[in-house]
C-alpha cells in the first residue's frame, strides 16, 4: 500500500443539499475488501483510518502511508481488528494470533511488522479501525462472543440483538478506540434504536454476515434532517459526531461498531425518540 483514499470532514449543514451519489461518496465505503489487496480510507473526522485486508495466497503487510507521516502504520496509531470472513491469522512482531470469524484483535502503538494471512479457504477478511494513540497498550486477542455481552432490544420491535463489547473501558484497554460486534437475532432487523449521536466521537459501522441479495437501509444526518443509504455486505459507513447512525435490514445481519474521540464511555450518547426524528 502506498496511497490512501482521503475523506475530508463535513458539516451537518451540507447534508440537505447532497444527492444520493454525493452521500455515498462522502460517507459510504463500498469496495473495502478486494482479494489480494489491502485498501485504506482516511477520514478527517477524528483522524480515523479504515482498512480492509483480504489476503489470498501471500500474507499482506500493513505498512505506513505518506498521508499519516510515519514509517510504520502503528508508529503513533492503535487499531481494533475484526475478522469478518473465514479463518485467518495476524502476525504482530513475530507473534501469531489466530482469528476466527468475529474475533477481535487490538494492536497498540509501537507495533512494527504486522502481516495478515488467510486459512486454506483464502477467505479471511480483516476490518481494521485505527485512531491516533498517545501511549502503548498490549496487543490482545478476544475470541468471538468472549467480550462483555449485552442483550438488547425486543422481538416485538424487531430489534432483538446481542452486543459484544471487546475494546472498551471494562475490557481490552486502548487510548481511544472503542469496538465491538452486534448480531441481530433471526426475525429482527433494526439496529441502534432509539437512534443517537455523540458529539464527542466519530463512529463507523461495518455491516457483515448479510446475505448477498439483502441490504441495510442506513440512516444518517442530524436527527431532524435524516437521509438514508442502501448498504450491502462488508461495506462501511462513516458517521460524523453530529450524525445519527441506525438502520434496518431486509434480513438479520451483524455489524462492527467502532468509535474514537473524546472518551471511551460506551453509554455516552444523546438519544432521540423516533417520534422526534424527521
Q: What is the pTM of this model?
A: 0.96
Q: Per-residue pLDDT averaged across 97-123, rounded?
A: 96
pLDDT for 169-194, tens place per residue?
A: 999 999 999 999 999 999 999 999 88
Grid coordinates belonging to 121: 479457504
Name residues whose C-beta falls within 8 Å of residue 196's C-beta, 6 or more positions apart in sequence: 244, 245, 269, 270, 271, 272
Angstrom distance (rounded) from CA 192 to CA 257: 11
Q: Per-residue pLDDT averaged across 74-87, rounded?
A: 97
> Distances in Å between the alpha carbon of 5 and those of 14, 48, 65, 75, 272?
21, 12, 11, 20, 33
DSSP H or E stretch at residue 60: strand 60-61
Q: Does the pLDDT value for residue 2 go beyond 80?
A: no
- The answer to whether residues 64 and 72 touch, using CB atoms and an 8 Å cutoff, is yes
φ, ψ for residue 41 (rounded to 5)? -130, 130
pLDDT for 220-252, tens place per residue?
A: 999 999 999 999 999 999 999 999 999 999 999
Q: Does the pLDDT value for residue 201 go beyond 70?
A: yes
Angstrom distance (rounded) from CA 147 to CA 131: 21
Domains and their CATH numbers in the chain: 12-276 (2.60.120.10)
Q: Which residues on neighbouring strands pair with residue 237, listed in sequence order? A: 28, 205
> Which strands sit side by side in the sheet containing 225-231, from one edge to the other?
190-191, 246-249, 216-222, 225-231
- The answer to whether residues 125 and 101 touch, using CB atoms and an 8 Å cutoff, is no
> Distances in Å between the alpha carbon of 52 and those of 29, 82, 258?
10, 10, 14
Angstrom distance (rounded) from CA 118 to CA 104: 15
DSSP-based three-state secondary structure for 112: coil
pLDDT of residue 181: 98
The number of angstroms, rounded, from the C-alpha of 139 to the middle of its chain's C-alpha atoms is 18
Q: What is the mean pLDDT of the chain?
A: 95
pLDDT for 85-94, tens place per residue?
A: 999 999 999 9
Express as a percent the part of the chain with pLDDT over 90. Answer: 87
pLDDT of residue 1: 46
Angstrom distance (rounded) from CA 249 to CA 188: 9
Amino acid at each position: 500500500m502506498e496511497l490512501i483514499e482521503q475523506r475530508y470532514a463535513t458539516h451537518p449543514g451540507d447534508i440537505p443539499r447532497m444527492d444520493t451519489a454525493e452521500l455515498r461518496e462522502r460517507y459510504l465505503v463500498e469496495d473495502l475488501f478486494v482479494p489480494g489487496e489491502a485498501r485504506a480510507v482516511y477520514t478527517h473526522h477524528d483522524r480515523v483510518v479504515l482498512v480492509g485486508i483480504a489476503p489470498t495466497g501471500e500474507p499482506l503487510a500493513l505498512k505506513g502511508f505518506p498521508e499519516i507521516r510515519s514509517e510504520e502504520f502503528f508508529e503513533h496509531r492503535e487499531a481494533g481488528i475484526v475478522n469478518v470472513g473465514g479463518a485467518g491469522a495476524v502476525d504482530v512482531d513475530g507473534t501469531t494470533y489466530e482469528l476466527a470469524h468475529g474475533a477481535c484483535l487490538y494492536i497498540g502503538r509501537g507495533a512494527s511488522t504486522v502481516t495478515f494471512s488467510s486459512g486454506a479457504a483464502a477467505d479471511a477478511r480483516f476490518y481494521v479501525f485505527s485512531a491516533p494513540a498517545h501511549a502503548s497498550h498490549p496487543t490482545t486477542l478476544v475470541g468471538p462472543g468472549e467480550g462483555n455481552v449485552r442483550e438488547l432490544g425486543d422481538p416485538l420491535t424487531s430489534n432483538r440483538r446481542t452486543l459484544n463489547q471487546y475494546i472498551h473501558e471494562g475490557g481490552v484497554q486502548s487510548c481511544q478506540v472503542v469496538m465491538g460486534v452486534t448480531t441481530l437475532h433471526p426475525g429482527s432487523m433494526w439496529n441502534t434504536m432509539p437512534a443517537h449521536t455523540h458529539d464527542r466521537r466519530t463512529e463507523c459501522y461495518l455491516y457483515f454476515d448479510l446475505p448477498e441479495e439483502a441490504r441495510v437501509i442506513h440512516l444518517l444526518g442530524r436527527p431532524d434532517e435524516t437521509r438514508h443509504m442502501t448498504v450491502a455486505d462488508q461495506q462501511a459507513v462513516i458517521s460524523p459526531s453530529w450524525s445519527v447512525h441506525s438502520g434496518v435490514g431486509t434480513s438479520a445481519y451483524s455489524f462492527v461498531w467502532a468509535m474514537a474521540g473524546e472518551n471511551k464511555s460506551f453509554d455516552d450518547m444523546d438519544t432521540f425518540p423516533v417520534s422526534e426524528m424527521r
